[in-house]
A = this chain, B = another copy of it.
Amino acid sequence: MSESISRRPGRPLGGQLVVDREHVLDAAERVIRRDGAGSSLEAVAVEAGVTKPIVYDRVGGRADLADALAERLSDRMVLATRTALAGETLSQTGLTRFIEANLRTVADHRELFLYVTGGSTEQTALGRLSLAERSTTPLTKTLAVWRSGIQQDPGVAEAWAFGIVGMLQMVSQWWITQEDRSAEEVAGQISELLWNGLPGRA
C-alpha cells in the first residue's frame, strides 16, 4: 500500500514529515509478515513509501530495527500474558496459562519472532539478547519479590529469568515447526517442569 510511486527529490511540500518512526515500524512488520525473516531494509523502505536513508534517520540500522521490533513484540507478549493471568496468584495453573499465552503470541507473529530472535550476525551477543533482556528485566523483578515473599534467596532471580526466557524461546521455536502439538499440551509440559522440577513432586 505505498501511496506514491515516486517522489521528487528535495523537501516535500506541506512542511511535515512524510512518515514518522511508527509508520516505518508498521511497514517493517508488514514486510516481515509477508516476505519472512530475511526481509531487507530496502523492502521496508519501499513498503513505507520512502527511501532507505529515511529508514536510517527514523529508526537506525538493521540492529536498531530489530531492537525496536523486539520492544514491540515484547510489549505484546507482556500484554497477552497479563490479560491471561488477570490478577491470578502465582500457581502452577497460572504458570501454564502464562506459557500458553506466550506460545500463542509467538504463533501470531511467527516471522516477526524469527526476525527478532534471528539476530544480525554482527555484534549479535548484544543483539540476540535484545528481546530476552526486555522480557527478563520485569521477570527478574517479579521473581525476586516473589522469592522474598516465600522466604527464599532472591539472589537467583536474574539467572532464573534468563533461563526461563531461554526455555520459552527455544520451546516456541521448536513448537512453531511442529503444528501437530497443541499449545495447551506443550504449555502444560513446560509448566510441569518449571514448577515441580526434573524429578517431580513426591
Contact = CB atoms under 8 A, between A and B. Distances in A.
Interface of A: 37-38, 95, 114, 117-122, 124-126, 128-129, 132, 150, 152, 155-156, 159-160, 162-171, 173-174, 176-177, 186, 189-190, 192-201
Contacts of A95: 198
A129 B173 contact: yes
Nearest to A191: B198
Contact of A163 (B150, B152, B160, B190): B190
B199 A198 contact: no
Nearest to A143: B198
A129 B174 contact: yes
A171 to B, nearest CB: 5
Contacts of A165: 170
Number of copies: 2
Nearest to A133: B174
A118 B124 contact: yes
Given A119-B121, A163-B167, A195-B197, 18 more contacts: A95-B198, A117-B128, A118-B124, A118-B128, A119-B119, A120-B121, A125-B176, A132-B173, A155-B189, A162-B170, A162-B171, A163-B170, A164-B167, A164-B193, A166-B169, A166-B173, A193-B194, A195-B198
Most chain B CB neighbours (cut-off 10 Å) among A128, A190, A198: A198
